[in-house]
Amino acid sequence: MNMLFLVLLLTFFWTPMSMGSVDKVALKKSLQHKVENSGLGPKGLGIYVATAESPSELVFEMAGQQQLIPASATKIVTAAATLKEFPPGTKFKTALLSNAKTEGSVLKGDLVLKGSGDPGFVSESMWFLVNAFVRTGIKTIEGNIVVDDSLFDQNRFDSSRQKERVDRAYDAPTGAMSFNWNSVNVFVRPASKVGEAAQVFVDPENDYIRLKGQIKTVAKSGKTNVNVEREDDKFGDYIVVGGTIELGSKEIVVYKNISRPDLWSGANLKSFLAQRGIKLNGKVVAGKTPPGAQVLAEFESKPIESMITDMNKFSNNYVAEMLTKLIAAQKKGLGSISGGMESLNQYMQSLKVPADQYEIFNPSGLTRENKMSPFALWSVLADMKNHFEYQPEFAVSLPIAGIDGTLKNRMKGSDGQRHVRAKTGYLTNIISLAGYAGRKDGTVLPFVFIYNGSADEWKVRSFFDELATQLVD
């Protein structure tokens, strides 16, 4: 066999496959054509697409080095920095403790609920914890339920968020001891007769939440206009309802956040204990775990990668801040946004991204202060792609086009469906999409699309979907 032919043959089979020059030229031309025909214009539009192996394998760039507001695409950085600090499989424990003696079935003192910063501590978690406590045989707690959420600072709404507070679930407060995303579900059903008050249910039910007002049931030709607001005081929250609902209407659900994660969690513990026949003589208070307290029951959280999936699939701002505070607690002993953001910025520095291409102050992206270039975000995607110890979990956390999360209804029926996994971002006049496009030749392309401007939001989303689908073709 000719030696030159043998060398060429071995080179063909053993050289790692990458996008050929013809592929890149054709793809670049196609992307350029779509950009020119989008009507968006170059101002405020940033795009960066390159193979993960090297930014020199550039496919397409437009204002790739320019700082733009990424909105919730910021969570890509938060997810990556979290996985660097807490490797896949890391879990956290929420515990019930006491230093009081037990006499028969009576706990002669306080029961402490100690938070570990688990953002996914929900009703199922509380049931597990309470059922474990039931097995101690304790039927009466003579003291208080003391909620210890001292692992985090008491800054519930960090100044790095947008300034306007709302009572919606996406703007929930943080706390080392939190429950059900620190939000409550309010269900409204019409009464059986016109003129009667509608049925209003709060889930979960507990002493912390109190109802005010009523919603009137009106005739079918009437107008449904359900109003649900939250008012807080030092003892808990009022859910104030008003308005009308048509006779025969389907159930309406409204999600509201709460104001005091510690007391909210403790009130739910009290309620769950009561359902298992355990009586509390005292009240729910905030405090710290006393010296010598022994663990009576504990719950182990889902692994860290599941928390990151909860954050990315549904763009959960609360989880983003909780994870950031966990990073700070791990490194500094106290969870704070400022401490966690130091780590996020250090992670960006480790990627050698030029300092003038990013400014990040809040981990969820619920702010207009965050600025990142498309290349800066692409660098994070490439880093995750090239590190096998994080790559599977990171990829799984991203919404799948046409299937789930914030991409459930996008790119359906197109070549992008199932072949694009990406994080969305949205604020008024801000649209972003950043993630991976899996090409049919096996190449996976990290991409970043950001638009800051006043163009129609649906038009921009459709344009980004077209670009992502083109990367797959």
Q: What is the pLDDT along the chain (473 residues), one digit of tens a residue?
A: 454 443 333 333 333 445 544 378 888 899 988 998 888 877 899 999 998 776 668 999 999 999 999 999 999 999 999 999 999 999 999 999 999 999 999 999 999 999 999 999 999 999 999 999 999 999 999 999 999 999 999 999 888 887 777 788 888 999 999 999 999 999 999 999 999 999 999 999 999 999 999 999 999 988 899 999 999 888 899 999 999 999 999 999 999 999 999 999 999 999 999 999 999 999 999 999 999 999 999 999 999 999 999 999 999 999 999 999 999 999 999 999 999 999 999 999 999 999 999 999 999 999 999 999 999 999 999 999 999 999 999 999 999 999 999 999 999 999 999 999 999 999 999 999 999 999 888 889 999 999 999 999 999 999 999 999 999 98
**Residue 56 phi/psi, 5° resolution?**
-70, -20
HSE (side-chain half, CA atoms, 13 Å) at 431: 18
Q: Is 187 helix (H, G, I), strand (E, B) or coil?
A: strand
pLDDT at 11: 39
pLDDT at 10: 36
HSE (side-chain half, CA atoms, 13 Å) at 17: 8
d(CA 407, CA 434): 12
pLDDT at 159: 83
Domains and CATH numbers, the chain: 16-88+305-472 (3.40.710.10), 93-157+262-301 (3.50.80.20), 169-257 (no CATH)
pLDDT at 160: 83
**Measured CA distances, 236 to 15, 211, 326 (Å):** 64, 11, 25
pLDDT at 56: 67
Helix (H) or strand (E) holding 446: strand 444-452
| Per-residue DSSP letter, 250 | P
Burial group, residue 458, by CB count within 10 angstroms (0-12, 13-18, 19+): exposed
Identify the CA nearest to 246 among candidates 219, 270, 267. 219
pLDDT at 163: 74
Neighbouring residues of 189: CB distance < 8 A, sequence distance ≥ 6: 198, 199, 201, 245, 249, 251, 252
Q: Is 317 helix (H, G, I), strand (E, B) or coil?
A: helix
pLDDT at 54: 67
Helices and strands per DSSP (H, E), number in the chain: 11, 23
Report pTM.
Answer: 0.91
pLDDT at 15: 38
d(CA 365, CA 377): 13
Determine the longest span between alpha carbons in the chain, in angstroms: 94
Q: Is 298 helix (H, G, I), strand (E, B) or coil?
A: strand
d(CA 419, CA 436): 8
How far does CA 372 lie from the centroid of its chain?
A: 19
The beta strand positions in 178-286, using DSSP E, are 183-189, 199-203, 209-213, 216-218, 225-233, 236-246, 252-257, 279-280, 284-286
pLDDT at 13: 35
Q: Is 274 helix (H, G, I), strand (E, B) or coil?
A: helix
d(CA 332, CA 154): 15
Reported residue count of the chain is 473
- Amino acid, res. 136: T
Q: How many CB atoms lie within 10 A of CB 9?
A: 12
Burial group, residue 11, by CB count within 10 angstroms (0-12, 13-18, 19+): exposed
The crossing angle, in degrees rounded to 10, of helices 337-350 and 75-85 is 90
Please, which residues bridge with residue 102 across strands?
107
**Measured CA distances, 320 to 73, 119, 181 (Å):** 11, 9, 11
SS3 labels along 372-431 = ECHHHHHHHHHHHHCCCCCHHHHHHHCCECCCCHHHCCCCCCCCCCCCEEEEEEEECCEE
Lookup: tokens for 289: 């775990």
SS3 labels along 144-165 = CEEEECCCECCCCCCCCCCCCC
| Segments in 117-212 forming alpha helices (H) | 123-134
pLDDT at 25: 85
pLDDT for 184-209, tens place per residue?
A: 999 999 999 999 999 999 999 999 99
**Measured CA distances, 111 to 133, 145, 441 (Å):** 11, 5, 59
pLDDT for 295-316, tens place per residue?
A: 999 999 999 999 999 999 999 9
Burial state string for 184-210 with b = 16 or more CB within 10 A and e = fewer than 16: bebebbbeeeeeeebebebebebbbbe
Lookup: tokens for 133: 């406590």
